[in-house]
Amino acid sequence: MVVLAASIITKSGKVLVSRQFVDMSRIRIEGYLSAFPKLVGTGKQHTYVETENVRYVYQTMEALYLLLVTNKQSNILDDLDTLRLLSKLVPEYCYSLDEEGICKTAFEHIFAFDEVVSLGYKENVTVAQVKQYCEMESHEERLHKLVMQSKINETKDVMKRKANEIDKSKIEKNRGDKGGFMSLQSMGSGRIDGGFGSETSIANTGGGFGSGFGLNTDVDSFSTKSKGRPSSATAPPKALGMQLGKSQKTNQFLESLKAEGEVIVEDVRPSTGQSKTTSLPPTDPVTLTVEEKLNVTLKRDGGVSNFVIQGALSLQILNQEHGFIQVQIEKSGNPSISFKTHPNVHKELFSNENILGLKDSNRPFPTGQPGDGVGLLKWRMESTNEDLLPLTISCWPEISQKETSVSIEYETPANIDLQNVIISVPLPAMRDAPNVKQIDGDWRYNSRNSVLEWSIVLIDNSNRSGSLEFSVPPVDPSSFFPISARFTASTTFSNLKVTGILPLRGGPAPKFSQRTVLTTEHYQVE
């Protein structure tokens, strides 16, 4: 079996994703793909087409074709098996089987195709294995990022020192000038000679990485320091004009889209002061992750149908020399939480002293585990107490002759902050967006799935409750259910904490970091 290429194309012949597996010219592959739509007829029962040189094996996926181009000597049974595996992988990486969904996840599909086919031959893998291989972290990539960040930090320090030295030399030079008008004028403008054949601004410009290596010298001009007057440093008029022209063109484009009936919703970006959950690779020798997942089903009239919390503590170690350790933890003592240790973990040591260690103290913890590392502890909690819920949602639809008005309210307890909250409200199938009258946060209408998404970047003490009001044409109130929600938090129900690392072979304890996250696996109001 030799697979020449795997592609996802539209029925009109537009190539969305294409991966070539053998050494062949690009023009030749494009010729094969452009000829395929002309060879496919309507009403045919088979899923392959043979030409003089190649064989096309394909499968219809809604408005798309998943296509394999093979040589004529290839075993068609193996080709069909490969096609079935690829057809299972495509929905795993895109939210909708259309042109937009495929294009947004084109690289994910290419990586998945590479794991299935190697040099034209099918690998013996499953869907779960392909997803695991694509999600695995690379130690070389992590090391490269750390080296690059170190170089950037060193460059920032060097540039700050150079800026301070240049500033001091300018001050001394202006002290020696007796007329001083031109010198003071140049110092007041916030510009200095950087020694590279061009002027360098030492005012706080806040430029990005592409301007001045992303550095912010934070050096005030001489006139600001000596006399307390505000600095007159401004952006060059040319750059400002370019920015204004770009903004005007963008606004004109958005206005034209709005005039055509498109719904334009700006992206929700959290401010720098707000807490955000990051998934950066670990840099400390030992990293422990406490993660809890919520499975909650609420009744629309109040009450809890299902409230289950599943938690896990995982350990990730970068180097094997730090594997001979034990982990000291602290629990909240909640009797409704049942803990279960890994089979290789010493159960009595955990029960008596809250210490997680291996039964065989001569064995180290494994290193290089993908994802969050190796699991040490799991726990589970079930409850019917509605007061423990991190988020409650109530929906009040009111039907009139002309429209249906809906009021939705959320509430959170005072002991937990939620990040990246998205509440999805199903709506009856309609082309136009609902009429949103009032909202605490932002909204977006997904016309493809007919869902109104209400997003709140952060819920803290300033907005423990909020509401959304919108109207749609008259419909049955049950059309707005089930309402689903997803969010993250840095507070868990178990309140489990890692208090220390105990080395088994003497010496200082390795440095460790702890990540704590609460996520939603299923959170609905039915």
pLDDT for 409: 92
Token pair belonging to 438: 């009032």
The three-point CA angle 292-298-300 to 5° equals 155
The predicted structure's pLDDT at residue 197: 40
Confidence of residue 28 (pLDDT cuts 50, 70, 90): confident
Confidence of residue 203 (pLDDT cuts 50, 70, 90): very low
Instruction: Please give the Cα distance from 138 to 131 (Å, whole number).
Output: 15
Residue 458 has pLDDT above 50, yes or no: yes
- Contact at 8 Å (CB) between 436 and 427? no
Predicted local confidence at residue 487, as pLDDT: 93
Report in angstroms the alpha-carbon separations of 303 from 307, 389, 393, 468.
Answer: 10, 11, 11, 21
The pLDDT tens digits for 221-237 are: 333 333 333 433 344 44
pLDDT value at 247 more than 90: no
pLDDT at 168: 85
pLDDT band, very low/low/confident/very high, at 310 (cuts 50, 70, 90): very high
Name the pLDDT band for 217 (thresholds 50, 70, 90): very low
Mean pLDDT of 406-417: 89
Separation of alpha carbons 506 and 499, rounded Å: 18
**Tens digits of per-residue pLDDT, 482-511?**
999 999 998 888 888 888 888 887 778 888
**332 has pLDDT over 80:** no
> To which residue do tokens 């950037």 refer?
152
- As a whole number of angstroms, the distance between CA 328 and CA 334 comes to 18
- Token pair for 259: 């005039």
Residue with tokens 């005072």: 414
Which of 483, 304, 293, 277 lies closest to 388 in space, CA to CA?
A: 304
Query: What is the average pLDDT score of the chain?
Result: 77
Structural domains of the chain ordered from first start:
3-135 (3.30.450.60), 281-525 (2.60.40.1170)
pLDDT digits (tens, 9 = 90+) for 54-64: 899 998 888 88
Structure tokens at 463: 């907005």
- Top pLDDT among 277 and 316 is at 316
Give the SS3 label for residue 475. Answer: coil
Question: pLDDT tens digits for 160-198?
Answer: 889 888 988 888 887 765 444 444 344 444 444 444 344
Question: Over the Cα atoms of the chain, what is R_g?
Answer: 30
